[in-house]
Amino acid sequence: MSATAPFGRRLAAAMAAHGPLCVGIDPHPALLHRWGLADDVTGLRTFGLRTLDALGGRVAALKPQSAFYERHGSAGIAVLEELLAAARETGTLTVLDVKRGDVGSTMLGYADAYLRDGSPLAADAVTLSPYLGLGSLGPAIEAALGSGRGVFVLALTSNPEGAGVQHARDAAGHAVAAQVVDGARALNAPQAAAGEPLGSVGLVVGATVGAAARELGIDLASVRGPLLAPGVGAQGAGPRELAEVFAGAERSVLASTSRAVLAAGPDAPALRAAASAVADEARVALGL
């Protein structure tokens, strides 16, 4: 499928072909050690390219965590650029986990870095933080939609501290998370009206948030965009949690895991087997 097709359409096709699984490429020092690699740029590069070699073209998406590359300075960023370029060659969608959120020209700078054709750090989608106001993300969302890319906006995250902000209500009783969801729904409306299977403005909804969406009056299915669901595997979410959190929105879910797959490495067949098992478990849990 053309890279200029809307991100939501490309992601829906990838999920149909490979299952609803996104594998994070998170080179924690402990994982590097487990793979017999040094916690340096050489180990970082080997880790990412081995993961891509094993899983490229076999999962719906790969999600490099920018922080683990940034900690190695400019040489680490160069490794991230190489990984993103190599992923493009395999046709595998990438979600760059950067959680950027800023205002004005600064947000435009982030958009230029991660969502512009020709940028060495360009990915198919990025994660964004809306807590300076969803409107502040406008330059990134505009850049994404204009280039066939996507965004995943933090809505209901699985960290305990998140609830203090995301569950807070305004004077009218609307939760902050519900306002983020409403904004994503509105942004996806044109693509939904055009018959796209998924919009290109997705949300990050932790697979461990339990009944939070229902308790806050949030209809996740109405977003008509992809729902990136971190927390599967090592963070405690399994089939029961996926079914509970995403009831009614199952076909929009992109389950995300890192350690549950990467811990099987560095052997490529073992990585593939682990990814296949998690994808199959997600399919069953979501009734797909």
The catalytic residue positions are 99
Q: How many residues does the chain have?
A: 288
150 contacts: CB under 8 Å, gap ≥ 6: 6, 7, 8, 11, 124, 125, 144, 200, 201, 202, 226
Q: What 3-state class would DSSP assign to 125?
A: strand
Instruction: Give strand pairing partners of 254.
Output: 228
Query: For residues 193 and 206, what is the distance between their CA atoms, to the nearest angstrom?
Result: 27
Query: For residues 7 and 198, what is the distance between their CA atoms, to the nearest angstrom?
Result: 8
Q: With left for phi above 0 and alpha for psi between -120 and 50, is residue 100 left, alpha or beta?
A: beta
